[in-house]
Structures are given as structure tokens and as C-alpha cells.
Chains A and B, each alone.
Chain A
Amino acid sequence: MENLYIMKTKSTPEINFDLSTHNHSIRGESYPENTFTFYDPIFQWIENYIETLEQQEVIFTIELIYFNSSSSKVLMDMFDIFDEASKEGKNITVNWIHDEEDEALQEYGEEFKEDLPHLTFIIKSKV
């Protein structure tokens, strides 16, 4: 397996998945022209990656300024995969980062968290 890096554009986030640190991030805006095409390789990477995991601590930092409704769907699917893996004993944490003043983004985080019983999902405001 290799690291996954995708540069951000105006409508797609930066993807920075790093196998050496197990610290991964998705940062920026997400309203792609075709959401499922954009996220497909990211899902493939994640599915392969989770197979390789044992007990190491894994962190996914999600810091999105804006995401559209189809990205919200995709994020839910992604968190469901993490939730399932956590249930099976993998050590995954999601850090949901929002701007201190952005209450809507904080609420989005809380709505995801409500549906993820097994995953460690931390909502943090950016300092």
C-alpha cells in the first residue's frame, strides 16, 4: 500500500492519508462535480487500509469548511466503515474540526456522532 495524497481544488478537499504516522486528514471544501467519482479511490484506499490494521492508533482529521449534501452522504458512509471497524476492535478516532464561530459545522459533527455508536468521534473547535 502507498500513501494517498490528492491536492485540493476549489470544490474538492485535500486528501492526505499517511501510512507512516497513521494520521490522516481531509481538509477544505467538498462539493465535487461528481461526488461519487471523486470519493471512489478514497474509499478503495480506506477499505484496503482497514484490512491491514491491527492495534495501532489511527486518526482521521476531518476539517471541512463546506460540504454539500452528497458529500454528507459519502462522509456518513465513510464513518460507517470506521464504526464497523471500531466494533471489531480497531483503534480509530475521528477528529471533527470546526471553526469556533461555526455552530452549524459543529451541529453537523454532532449529527454524525449520534449515528456512530462504536467509533471514537471527537468534535473540536479550532483554536
Chain B
Amino acid sequence: MLKNLNKFKQILDEEGIIFTFCGPMSHDIVVGLGSTLRNKLEEDEVSRAVSAKIFSIFVEQVQNVINYSKVNDSMNDEMSLGIVIIGKKDDKFFISGGNNIANNQIEELQNNLIQLQQMNQEELKQFYKHKRKECSPINSKGAGIGFIEMARKSSEPIEFNFENIDSYKSFFTITIIV
């Protein structure tokens, strides 16, 4: 096992991954890992502005997974499982998150994300302000503006993917570059 772990760590190093968590997402994870992440970024002398963006995207990604699993109670156990990865490549940080999603919810999410991909900063700002004024959708534990928040902090258009697992669910991934 130790040998395998070492190999696993080597792969993470090669990919430039400095921080990763895989497992059930909870508020304790947000608070605990979030504070460790902030300390780590400070130790590495990452600028305050960049560090704040990374922390914010981390929180939005993990809270998205938690909230998503809460509104899908029937699949709670499976749905709160997720992965979050923070790494550095070519002087830019990336924050990737992944979690299971019900197949029948892919289309709506995909359309929302494509819309965000196509917006420039000013359009994202206006869209954010518009959504913030609206009432939050029923059943949503969040404000529904988490993805816009992430897109605004991203220096490149957000990247995402859906990989089919079975007839019922798929694995959703999103990557933000800071």
C-alpha cells in the first residue's frame, strides 16, 4: 500500500497538484480544508488577490456539490461524493471539481455553463447582478449564482465535461483557471 501511495503522490506531483480531496463533501470539509488551503497559499507566498480567488472558487465548488446532493435526497449518499483538486501549471492555478449528477439534469446545467462560457467579463458582471436580484429558485439551497461567481474569477472560459456512468448518472467535472 505504501508503495502505491507513493506512486499516487508522484502522479499528483507530475500533474502539478498541490491539494486534493476525494470523498463525501460536508460543511466541515469546506471550513477545515478551506483554512488549510489559505495557510498553504500564504506559505507559498501566493499573492493575496490570487489566493482569495482560489479560496472562493474552492468554497463555491464544494458547496455546489453539498447543495446539489441535498436537493437530491434520494441519491444523497452517492451525490455528496466528490473530488476537488487544486494545482499549478505554467504559472497559473487550476481548481477542478467533480461529482455525480443525475442524467436528467445534465441538459439544463450544460446550457447554463455554455452560456457562461460565451460571456465576457462585463456580460458576466451584468448577469451576476441580474441573477442576484432575482429570487432564488425553489429547492435551491444556494443562490444559483455560484457558477457565475466562479466564471468571473476565471482568467479563461470555464471548462466542463460530463462522462456517462450508467443510464441514471454521469460524472460532472468543472475546471477554473486563475
Residues of A within 8 A of B (CB): 10-11, 31, 33-36, 66, 68-70, 72-74, 76, 80, 101-104, 111, 114-115
Interface size class of chain B, counting residues whose CB lies under 8 Å from the partner chain: 20 to 34
Contact of A66 with B48 in the complex, beta carbons under 8 Å: no
Q: Tell me whether B63 is interfacial, beta carbon within 8 Å.
A: yes
Contacts of A76 in B (CB 8 A): 132-133
Q: Which of A31, A74, A102 contacts B59 (CB 8 A)?
A: A31
Q: Smallest distance from the beta carbon of A71 to chain B beta carbons, Å?
A: 8
Contact of B145 with A72 in the complex, beta carbons under 8 Å: yes
Contacts of A68 in B (CB 8 A): 56, 59-60, 63, 146, 149
Q: Which of A36, A66, A70, A73 contacts B56 (CB 8 A)?
A: A66
Given contact pairs A11-B31, A72-B143, A31 touches B63 in the complex (Cβ within 8 A): yes
In the bound complex, how far is the Cα of B178 from the Cα of A104, in angstroms? 14
Mostly, the B contact residues are: helix
Contacts of B55 in A (CB 8 A): 66
Q: Which of A10, A72, A101 contacts B149 (CB 8 A)?
A: A72
Contact of A34 with B56 in the complex, beta carbons under 8 Å: no
In the bound complex, how far is the Cα of B34 from the Cα of A104, in angstroms? 19
Q: Which of A11, A66, A69 contacts B148 (CB 8 A)?
A: A69
Q: Smallest distance from the beta carbon of B76 to chain A beta carbons, Å?
A: 15
Contacts of B49 in A (CB 8 A): 102-104
Q: A11-B30, A35-B143, A73-B143 are in contact. List 11 more A-B contacts (CB 8 A).
A: A10-B35, A36-B141, A68-B60, A69-B142, A69-B146, A70-B63, A70-B142, A72-B145, A73-B136, A104-B49, A104-B52
